[in-house]
Structure 1
């Protein structure tokens, strides 16, 4: 599939065009210059034409080790990978010296360039459209990414660079459907399709506070500087999905922006980044909560963990920078004790210690991700569940309500991802929360479901003597 890179100076509308081509609001868009920092990929489409589209950071004239210079190097890599580059200018602002410098830089490379004069809706962009001829890339395409004007002209311009029969590939943000199980199926256990196949890669999101090493971890897996890293906190703003393969299994690694306490978030862009991270958690199957091993489980870490559990995603706790910890055994003991006290709703959550910088225990984290994903997809037959329920009731009967014993009629698994069970009982609304916790803990221990979120819904059983309406 052909690769199309969107390039230009900051704040000319690159992310708006990216969203227009992929048909979704994936990239963060704001009037603040320099919002985009990492390369973002998606499947673009214009009518029947399909291609891979790259959103890039705005070109900055910086060549040192600053953040702007590292962003520029990321943009240069995108241009080298692309089959064609779309150079955007702001037609309303006209051609600027930075536009001219970037155009000259592109001319030195081998990547073909198409010039788009963005924000050409109305008459305000006409002078800038005429100025664009001075860049030496032929006829500029009048365009409006905001309103979708000029797509037919862009289609015609891209046609020579796009193969006639592009291969179909999945979108980096594709939503995997929920696996629902028919409640009438009471026979054999049904396992969900295994993750890691070309049709269904494991969706693995890395979340945590700023500057704990999320981007460094993904770069270490990929073996290249695919994502921006550095000593500055909060470099990542967009959630970036990267397809990768580990031991023959496909994985979609999702890097996310660091999450701070809401009270400390005041800038609009950071609020958008936090919302994008929460959206990435929604799309993920397994979420790795990355901690700084020297600042284990702060209040914000626990808040993030609870959000992941509330969304029903499989959770792994990973303590990064483990090489810098002096007393490793004591630190690990404190971490496990804190988890037992603060995350009582998720007993047995996996804990992995690692060093992204040194490359230690990275395979162990992936092995744990596939193991917990299998539990997250586990299906238990209704026959086994009801045999288990009889034993639980015999060991500890439900309490009385209004002078009558609450009867638990039967239980079945409604769906997986996460494992969700429906318990039918008389006087369902009177079953106390403590007894529900007793049943949930029994499900975890007896069926080996420790470490994944469980949901148990108590429903009112039908009264056979009640007249039908």
Structure 2
């Protein structure tokens, strides 16, 4: 089941990103923040009063230049109407209603999409009461006054948000079913890839309808396994959203990944790796999904015996944090290696749910710390050696490993990456984001496991 999507929309400089950060930071909002790449973060899963939803910030996804401002904002709204369950239309209470605000309000009213009008920059209660009256003119119901900067009114806004979210019933989860989302920017060949897969005689295909704005899922019986393909290929074209297509694609990917275990991210071999490609790749890692990089249109490339290696090296240089992700070159047009992409996705699924026995994990840990010792802790008059005593895996899908140490805060990021590489060398985890956390070991455990800690303060 995909989570409801709440999209923050509005013209530039009204405080959309500040509101996004405020909602995720208010005291009772529990944020499902998967460790991973944090740059270009535009969505997060939050829980308020027991209701989980995906919050999407349009700031940074839609260009905010002065030129063609109305067209850009209109594109943003069209995309949100297509994919979001609820729109938070943010306006600047101090600036008052602008012509762009009126145009956006008209589009939202005519769409029938559930919308909350959020009057931002109401920095105190008296100002809030004075500012909201003007905005009743927009015809979107009672304005909600907030100060995204200070947090005033954010709790009341969240209560209204969860009251407006649609009720959804979770479908039964089949533990043996592999759910794969095929995502990527427009025109990379997602439809051709899926059509080529579904045209193979060895597949048994049955289409199943998803939710109202979810794409059609397809279940396959393949090599004794049951696969569910979450099809994001059919992006509905609309002239008004062409300029906002990057945001639209991102929103589709967010929704699809909520229901998937593995993502096949499609790239176009004939085009350089773009910012949008990297955003989608980073989103998969943030969400903790297994990942297969599928480079389509390989038939269009002039090749020699070094072409594939050269392309992969260039990709790894630009997407350095995804060194663990397998890369498959395909041609959906000719069928070249299309089934190989599916086979690799199944291999990644096996890694995604891999559970490493604790004795084997600790042998790998001790070998790694013997090769490269953790650095001394800093910020003390007399530094002490950081000791990572033991660890165990507490979750799968994706894997989460806890290491217990005498000083968790002193373990630097570069050493965490070193341990990640050591674990991948020992156990694989190909295509899977590996979560590693450090916890404080109890004094009793330290004395039992680490003789050097005897008498330590």
Q: Please report how far the alpha carbon of residue 272 of structure 1 lies from its aligned counterpart in structure 2 after TM superposition.
A: 5.7
Q: Distance in 2 between matches of 1:369 and 1:431?
A: 33
Check 1:424–1:211 CA distance in 2 against 1; reply closer, same or farther (3 A cut). same
1:192-228 CA deviation, whole Å, 9 max, x = no partner? xxxxxx763210111111011111211222229999x
SS in 1 for 2:321: coil
SS in 2 for 1:385: helix
SS in 2 for 1:300: helix
> Larger Rg: 1 or 2?
1
Match of 1:347 in 2: 323
Query: 1:410 aligned to 2:403?
Result: no
Q: Distance in 2 between matches of 1:288 and 1:424?
A: 34
Q: Please report how far the alpha carbon of residue 349 of structure 1 lies from its aligned counterpart in structure 2 after TM superposition.
A: 1.6
Check 1:245–1:226 CA distance in 2 against 1; reply closer, same or farther (3 A cut). closer
1:234-273 aligned at under 5 Å gives the runs 238-256=214-232, 271=247
Indicate which of 304, 325, 337 corresponds to 1:361.
337
Q: Distance in 2 between matches of 1:339 and 1:272?
A: 24
Q: Is the 2:250–2:280 Cα contact (8 Å) retained in structure 1?
A: no
Q: Please report how far the alpha carbon of residue 274 of structure 1 lies from its aligned counterpart in structure 2 after TM superposition.
A: 3.5
Indicate which of 430, 434, 443 corresponds to 2:410.
430
Q: Distance in 1 between matches of 2:273 and 2:346?
A: 24
> Aligned Cα RMSD in Å?
3.8
SS in 1 for 2:360: helix
1:438-449 aligned at under 5 Å gives the runs 438-449=418-429
Q: Please report how far the alpha carbon of residue 240 of structure 1 lies from its aligned counterpart in structure 2 after TM superposition.
A: 2.9
Check 1:330–1:301 CA distance in 2 against 1; reply closer, same or farther (3 A cut). farther
Q: Distance in 1 between matches of 2:267 and 2:439?
A: 39
Q: Distance in 1 between matches of 2:214 and 2:243?
A: 15
Q: Please report how far the alpha carbon of residue 174 of structure 1 lies from its aligned counterpart in structure 2 after TM superposition.
A: 4.3
Q: Distance in 2 between matches of 1:359 and 1:305?
A: 24
TM-score by length of 2: 0.53
Q: Is the 2:184–2:249 Cα contact (8 Å) retained in structure 1?
A: no
Match of 2:183 in 1: 207
Q: Please report how far the alpha carbon of residue 450 of structure 1 lies from its aligned counterpart in structure 2 after TM superposition.
A: 3.2
Match of 1:120 in 2: none
Match of 1:55 in 2: none
Match of 1:104 in 2: none
Q: Distance in 2 between matches of 1:437 and 1:398?
A: 12
Q: Please report how far the alpha carbon of residue 446 of structure 1 lies from its aligned counterpart in structure 2 after TM superposition.
A: 1.2
Q: Which residues of structure 2 form unaligned runs of 5+?
A: 1-51, 55-75, 84-163, 208-212, 447-457
Q: Distance in 2 between matches of 1:431 and 1:328?
A: 45
Check 1:435–1:295 CA distance in 2 against 1; reply closer, same or farther (3 A cut). same
Check 1:258–1:399 CA distance in 2 against 1; reply closer, same or farther (3 A cut). farther
Q: Is the 1:346–1:452 Cα contact (8 Å) retained in structure 2?
A: no
Q: Please report how far the alpha carbon of residue 258 of structure 1 lies from its aligned counterpart in structure 2 after TM superposition.
A: 8.3
Q: Distance in 1 between matches of 2:78 and 2:423?
A: 50
Match of 2:374 in 1: 398
1:125-136 aligned at under 5 Å gives the runs none
Q: Distance in 2 between matches of 1:215 and 1:255?
A: 8
Indicate which of 321, 326, 330 corresponds to 2:297.
321
Query: 1:220 aligned to 2:196?
Result: yes
Q: Distance in 2 between matches of 1:387 and 1:356?
A: 44
1:212-263 CA deviation, whole Å, 9 max, x = no partner? 1111211222229999xxxxxxxxx85332112223321111121589xxxx
1:107-159 CA deviation, whole Å, 9 max, x = no partner? xxxxxxxxxxxxxxxxxxxxxxxxxxxxxxxxxxxxxxxx9xxxxxxxxxxxx
Q: Which residues of structure 1 form unaligned runs of 5+?
A: 1-23, 38-146, 148-170, 177-197, 228-236
1:401-456 CA deviation, whole Å, 9 max, x = no partner? 23211111211101111111001111110111111111111001111223321010
Check 1:327–1:214 CA distance in 2 against 1; reply closer, same or farther (3 A cut). same
Match of 2:440 in 1: 460
Q: Distance in 2 between matches of 1:443 and 1:281?
A: 26
Q: Is the 1:243–1:250 Cα contact (8 Å) retained in structure 2?
A: yes
Match of 2:104 in 1: none
1:269-323 CA deviation, whole Å, 9 max, x = no partner? 9856642321211221111111111114222212211110111111111111112
TM-score by length of 1: 0.51
Q: Distance in 2 between matches of 1:337 and 1:391?
A: 29
SS in 2 for 1:289: strand
Q: Distance in 2 between matches of 1:226 and 1:267?
A: 35
Match of 2:364 in 1: 388
Check 1:356–1:376 CA distance in 2 against 1; reply closer, same or farther (3 A cut). same
Match of 1:450 in 2: 430
Q: Distance in 2 between matches of 1:456 and 1:376?
A: 14
Q: Please report how far the alpha carbon of residue 463 of structure 1 lies from its aligned counterpart in structure 2 after TM superposition.
A: 2.8
Check 1:299–1:267 CA distance in 2 against 1; reply closer, same or farther (3 A cut). closer
1:66-124 CA deviation, whole Å, 9 max, x = no partner? xxxxxxxxxxxxxxxxxxxxxxxxxxxxxxxxxxxxxxxxxxxxxxxxxxxxxxxxxxx
Q: Distance in 1 between matches of 2:78 and 2:384?
A: 65
1:30-429 aligned at under 5 Å gives the runs 174=171, 176=173, 200-223=176-199, 238-256=214-232, 271=247, 274-327=250-303, 329-401=305-377, 402=380, 403-429=383-409
Check 1:449–1:199 CA distance in 2 against 1; reply closer, same or farther (3 A cut). closer
Q: Is the 1:286–1:315 Cα contact (8 Å) retained in structure 2?
A: yes
Q: Distance in 2 between matches of 1:254 and 1:310?
A: 19
